[in-house]
Amino acid sequence: MSKIAFVERPRYTCASGGAVATVTAIPGAIPILHSAQGCAGNFAWTQNGGAGLQVGGYCGSLTVPSSNVQERDVVFGGVDRLRQQIANTVEVMDGELYVVLTSCVTEVIGDDAAPVVEEFREQGTPIAFAETAGFKGNAYTGYDLVLQSLFRQVVERGVSKQKGKVNLWGIPPYQDVFWRGNIEELRRLLESLGLTVNSFFTDRDSVAAIRQAASAELNIVVSDVYGVQAAALFEERHGVPFLKTALPVGPGATDDFLLRVGERLALDRGVVDQVIRAERRHYYRTLEPLTDCYNDMDLQRYAVVVGDGNYAPALARFLADDLGWLPELVVVTDRFNEQEQGDVASRLQGFASGLAPHLVFESDGRQIISHFNRLWPPNQNQKYYNAFSPAFVLGSSLERELAATLAAGHLSVSFPVANRAVLDRGYTGYRGGLRLTEDLLSAIVAGR
Amino acid sequence: MYFSQKEPPRREERLGACIALRDTVCGFAKKKGCRFDDGEREFRQGSICLMLPALAILNTIPDSVVLIHGANGCGSCIHSQNANARSGSAQRTGKAKDALWLSTALNETDVISGGEEKLTAAIAEADRRYRPKTIFVVSTCVPGIIGDDIDGVAAQLQEKVTARIVPIHCQGFKTKIWATAYDAVYHGIVRQLFEGRDESKASALPGVDESRREVEAERRKKTVNLMNVSSMGRVDEIELERLLRALGLEVNIFPVFSEPDSMVKMTQAALSISTCPTHDDYILKHLNETYGVPYQIEHMPIGIENTNRWLRNIAAFFHLEDAAERIIEQEERELRQALAELTPFFAGKTVFLSAGEFRALATANLLAELGFAVRGIRSFHHDEFAEGEYAKLARQAKDDFIINIANVQPFEEANLLKRLQPDLFLGHANGNMTASKLGIPAHVIYNTGLSYVGYRGAYELARRLRRLLRNPAFHANLARHVRLPYRDQWYAADPFRYIRTQGGHGHE
């Protein structure tokens, strides 16, 4: 990680916030924050502003139980307050699983949540905990840490393996604003291969199914980074191997995804091909009537793609290989180490279209324009200038100023998404490719 | 006296503010002047800390950078506050501008070895990269515990950077009363943006002649400081400016969206006027003691009678009573005519409110004026400034009703709402979901895009409530299909069973 003085407008909240969002998304789960009083509100406001108008769920936002430690607890320790908070939470809140999540303050003062949680577990309370201090990392880290806790403390050991059963993760709830739709589409596709899927966060998932997760044959992680540590832990602890893939957006990437899953599980190639054929037929039959307007309105675009480690490469590939646009610059806003950077960079190689977009890792969105100017020489008052036009910026809502500068269309996909309402829309898979096509072109023709 | 310290005092000490009480409006009205025995909850839900309202103000200051010194998540709330920064700047300048905030993103190593070095580098780089007029350095819980000296770092660096560095202390664990946020922001502004400025430079253009100076002095006699709040949008400012201008006054608006260079003008006005007494006493007393600017800190101009009182107070200061009465008479007449078609729909309907203390109480007054019966109020904290407000409500209430002091705590709210079954709920942003899921039509009690304040606000709020009550299907459908995360037994329990006061269980 390059040594930089600050993170400009971080496109995430901290580990603690990512953890709360993750627990909130598990059906029937109740997070218990062991933190100062402001953390829950900070996370609620974050989702309010960045998660496509989605805040919390069954037990999110300001409903989240929290120890609200004060100065006194900072001086004398907050463990007694935590014990009291857990006991009363179980009394008031109706949950199938309680997950205690620690924070900066309670970890700095050295509160040890483990023995307290253990007391309740011994009494039969379904409870787990994760140490998710904000200084341990960002929301993606928090997601990974919660998964690790589930795999250590909730997933039962020694269950027998079940053929055709898989766990799916790598899409952090709320931090990936399109999490619900993204997971549902991949679930649908995996089921169409005849697999049984545990995906943790949809309303077809449950705490009971999470407990049985170790019976899976394979864990599928649709991310190079998010949830990968948890996958390694799962393998070590429960003996289930994992497959790491790109976030599959659109037909090209999804073909690859299904083929790789099929290979790893030694599925009948004929079955996989049949699914791919049917999905492709549906995709292109649906796209077909757009052809006239796509041509007549000249809807091909140059593009700048800005996003996190999941979205930036996935969206670039969709634009280049499926939609036939020209993504020239791809900006990954996460602060990754070299290994992670390498993994993400490899996703931008070998595009079927032959395009090789320029990739930069840059956490300061205000610097993107300088990267762009270095890549695409400005008009030196030439009569004939090969302009970056017509253009489109596919990023977060923080890229609106960049889009205005480039006189480009704009769509928010990667966090923060302040200017769209998102419920179960998703961009993964074949259906997601259609959604993304709709949304990109709608943004262009909005003033028509 | 406070301003010589690095940090403002906690409101718990300075004002005896509290967050966990139960009583009724008549009970509260009688308790004038005594300090309450604040309670503690043994079950708690998360809320906000002083950092959030502080950032809500700081993000609006033009040409500034907000540098949050903490782990990488502190201040991510700005993603929603940014919407206000954008719309607010669009309304005031014609251009939507994103806020600019940064995080020092302290990691585990920094927690052990201290964050001052990182902060120093961040300030220098922010100054170089963005060239702001002001860098607000907001310290959070972690630097507060590990002992980073943000004031020391700022003082050391000030010579080396172009921007004015303004330390703002927001250690969330230190105070339960998030209204301390306003003190924290004002403390920083006073220490860094008022003090040490050459008055003549701030107040007059170089080379200005004598006659111009006289005009300027004359103008100041008629200029008032109008204290705005981040929960109040431009639409509400325009309403208050309209009324003050009708009295022949000039208006400085401060602090939200005010230019750092012109903040010093605050020290030269004839009078400072609060729009939310919870907000402003700390700085108004300072402006009075240090610069001789008198102030008025009574009434929030929400509700017809409240607006009248607010305006009369100001007019009395300038000896403009007759003008005020003329304005009030005309405003009231026009407003009541306009309301006539709406109020019949409100008669006998019951309402429950929950928000910051002043906002909740003033809005309750307005709803009573519109014909609603107030069933209960939850104020997010309590301090002395609101004492008169409870008396006002007690006077007009047909039946006594519940007052609950709570820093949000929706579990208590769910229990109360199930019992009281009001027809309408008005709550703070992110505080309306409980009512909605119980099928109670909910309306947000503040939103910077909507009008609430003054005579116009009374009409616009009534119009919105009529619209809501005409079709509350959204809320009714939710209640049929989703449930709140509380056990069934909870609704049968005493809603205040988890409040412990020093005198034991409950609050008599």
Number of structural domains found in chain A? 3
My answer on whether B112 and B57 are in the same domain is: yes
Residues A387 and A336 in one domain: yes
Which pTM does this prediction carry? 0.96
Tell whether B218 and B293 lie within a shared domain: yes
Tokens at residue B220, please?
Answer: 């100041």
Q: Are residues A91 and A211 in the same domain?
A: no
Assess if residue A150 is contained within a domain: no
Query: Would residue B14 count as lying in a domain?
Result: no
Which residue of A7, A38, A92 is in closest CB contact with B411?
A: A92
Name the 3-class secondary structure at A116.
helix
Amino acid letter, B92:
R
Q: Are strands B250-254 and A302-307 parallel, antiparallel or unpaired?
A: unpaired
A165 and A269 share one domain: yes
Nearest Cα to Cα of residue A58 among A169, A182, A207, A188: A207
Residue with tokens 């204290």: B227
Contact state of B98 with A400 under an 8 Å Cβ cutoff: yes
pLDDT digits (tens, 9 = 90+) for B225-268: 999 999 999 999 999 999 999 999 999 999 999 998 888 889 99
Chain A: give the shortest CA distance to residue B103, in Å. Answer: 5
Chain A residues with CB under 8 Å of B102 CB are 6-9
Whether chain B has a CB inside 8 Å of the CB on A43: the answer is yes
Which residues make Cβ contacts (< 8 Å) with residue A268, sequence separation at least 6? none
Is residue B89 included in any domain, yes or no? yes
How far is B175 from chain A, CA to nearest CA, in Å?
Answer: 7
Task: Provide the residue range defining the domain that includes A314.
Answer: 299-417
Looking at the domain assignment, is residue B361 inside a domain? yes
Residue B38 placed within a domain: no
Q: Please determine, for residue A276, whether its predicted confidence score (pLDDT) is greater than 90.
A: yes
pLDDT at residue number B208: 54
Q: Answer yes or no: do A49 and B498 touch at CB < 8 A.
A: no
Closest to A231 measured CA to CA, from A247, A244, A215, A246? A244
Give the pairing of strands A326-332 and A358-361.
parallel
Q: Are residues B355 and B486 in the same domain?
A: yes
Coil, strand, or helix at residue B158?
Answer: helix
Query: Cα B197–B198–B202 angle (5° rounding)?
Result: 90
Query: What pLDDT was estimated at residue B312?
Result: 98
Cα B490 to Cα A382, B44, B484: the distances in Å are: 74, 14, 11
Supply the pLDDT for residue B72. Answer: 97
Give the end of a domain, one of B141, B159, B194: B194
**Residues A262 and A169 reside in one and the same domain:** yes
Residues of A with Cβ-Cβ distance to B431 under 8 angstroms: 62
Per the document, the length of chain B is 508
Q: What is the pLDDT of residue B196?
A: 53
**3-state DSSP assignment of residue B486:** strand
Model pLDDT, residue B507 = 37
Cα(A298)–Cα(A292) distance, rounded to whole angstroms?
A: 10
Residues of chain B with pLDDT under 50: 198-206, 504-508
**Measured between CA atoms, how close is A67 to chain B, in angstroms?**
6
In this structure, are A346 and A321 located in the same domain?
yes
Asked whether residue B323 falls in the same domain as residue B433, the answer is no
> For residue B201, what pLDDT is reported?
46
What is the pLDDT, as a whole number, of residue B31?
Answer: 76
- The structure tokens listed for A42 are 């900070």
Report yes or no: A371 and A362 within 8 Å, Cβ to Cβ: yes
Could you give the number of structural domains in chain B? 3
- Chain B nearest-CA distance from A350, in A, is 35
A85 interaction partners in chain B (CB closer than 8 Å): 42-44
Kindly report the CATH number assigned to the domain that includes residue A66.
3.40.50.1980
- Residues B190 and A304: their CA atoms lie apart, in Å, by 44
| Residue B22 belongs to some domain of the structure | no
Buried/exposed code over A13-48 (b: 16+ C-beta within 10 A; e: otherwise): bbbbbbbbbbbbbbbbbbbbbbbbbbbbbbbbbbbb
Rg of chain A in Å (alpha carbons)? 23
Contact B87, B93 (CB under 8 A): no
Whether B166 and B86 map to the same domain: the answer is yes
Inter-chain touch A38–B47, beta carbons under 8 Å: yes
Task: Answer yes or no: do A26 and A115 share one domain.
Answer: yes
> How many other β-carbons are positioned within 10 Å of the β-carbon of residue A188?
15
Average pLDDT over residues A410-425: 98
Q: Identify the residue with better confidence: A299 or B38.
A: A299
The tens digit of pLDDT for each residue in A332-379 reads 999 999 999 999 999 999 999 999 999 999 999 999 999 999 999 888
Residues of chain A with pLDDT > 70, as a percent, come to: 99
Query: Which tokens sit at B330?
Result: 């005309």
Q: Which residue among B166, B194, B222 closes a domain? A: B194
Does the structure show a pLDDT above 90 at A134? yes
Tell me how far the alpha carbon of residue A241 is from its chain's centroid. Answer: 21
Residue B177 belongs to domain with CATH number: 3.40.50.1980
A116 with A211, same domain: the answer is no
What pLDDT sits at residue B35?
63
Does the residue A304 lie in any domain? yes
Where do the DSSP E strands lie in A276-385?
302-307, 326-332, 358-361
Of B194, B220, B246, the domain-final residue: B194
Determine how many CB atoms are found less than 10 A away from the CB of residue A183: 28
A243 and A349 share a domain? no
Indicate whether B479 and B364 sit together in one domain. Answer: yes
On chain A, the residues whose CB falls within 8 A of the CB of B100 are 8-9, 366
For testing contact with chain B, the best of A45, A85, A88 (most B CBs within 10 A): A45
**Same domain, yes or no, for A134 and A170?**
no
**Alpha-carbon torsion angle B366, B369, B371, B377, nearest 10:** 40
For the stretch A145-178, pLDDT in tens is 999 999 999 999 999 999 999 999 999 999 999 9
Per the structure, the complete domain to which residue B138 belongs is given by: 47-194
What are the CA-CA distances from residue B93 to residues A350, A401, B86, B239 (Å)? 47, 16, 10, 18
Residue A426 lies in a domain: no
Contact between A5 and B124 using a beta-carbon 8 Å cutoff: yes
**Are A126 and A50 found together in one domain?**
yes
- For residue B141, list chain A residues with Cβ-Cβ distance below 8 A: 36, 104-105
Please give the Cα distance from B371 to B462 (Å, whole number). Answer: 10
Distance CA(A113)–CA(A86), nearest Å, equals 11
| pLDDT tens, position by position, A56-88 | 899 999 999 999 999 999 999 999 999 999 999
Q: Specify whether A266 is located in the same domain as A326.
A: no
Cβ contact, residue pair A49, B124, below 8 Å: no
